[in-house]
Amino acid sequence: MTTTVKKNPADTLTISHGTVNADSLLATPQIRSCQGTCSTTTTIAAIVDKTTDAIPSFMTLENGVLTVDAQTNTLVRTYEMKVTMTTPNSGDQIFETVKVILDLCVIVSLDPPTDPTDTSYLIFATSPLVIDLSSPGFQQVPSCGYYLVETFTWTIPEGAPITESNSNRYELTVDSTTPDHDATYSVTLSLSALYATLVTTYT
């Protein structure tokens, strides 16, 4: 099983376990045959890391299904697992066929900021309108928390009374005392982000 930190939804692995050989139920003579009375149920009772003899805190086992939900890159490594299977008559059987390869968190997308709600401005207003998209800004999905080399580009119609902030890349200011500015302006913010040698643009 290969997965990554902060995978959403978390990856799962169904662990195979022993099942009855149907032909063995038909064995003869009858003294050797179950004749439908034998218990043939096996279950996956436990799974642990070979090196610690305990299941890692970010793994869960339920009904034979292993879920891996790691949230930090410090957990990245390959986990050799030891599986315990219960049997009706032969006691617990332990096998080592499960390996979990946990890789670094991988950014799937950068979600853009939500559209601002307060975008109306009255010319000659006593104070300018400030539109700030920095909360939440562009969001890494999943939230790996990596530093990205980012280039922000505002597209503002020519002649619009709208200016970018010099200190906040997500902020615009609308300010005018010119009646000719009475109009609706479409403005976009684009982000070009460099991540793992891959440049991706989001608007």
pLDDT digits (tens, 9 = 90+) for 2-32: 999 999 999 999 999 888 777 776 766 655 6
Which CA distances in Å does 81 have to 6, 13, 143, 202? Answer: 21, 12, 28, 41
Q: Which long-range contacts (CB under 8 A, 24 or more apart) does 143-146 make?
A: 143/6, 144/5, 144/6, 144/105, 144/106, 144/107, 145/105, 146/105, 146/107, 146/195
The pTM assigned to this predicted structure is 0.77
DSSP 195: E
Q: Which residues contact 107 (CB under 8 A, 6 or more apart)?
A: 140, 141, 142, 144, 146, 195, 196
Pair of tokens at residue 114: 């939500």
pLDDT at 68 over 90: yes
137-159 pLDDT, tens digit per residue, is 999 999 999 989 899 999 999 99
- Strands 11-14, 65-68: pairing is antiparallel
Residue ranges of domains in the chain: 2-103, 109-202
Mode of pairing for the β-strands spanning 59-62 and 65-68 = antiparallel
Residue 57 pLDDT:
97
CA distance 118 to 83: 57
Would you state the CATH architecture of domain 2-103?
Answer: Sandwich (2.60)
Per-residue pLDDT of 104-137, as tens digits, reads 999 988 899 999 998 999 999 999 999 999 999 9
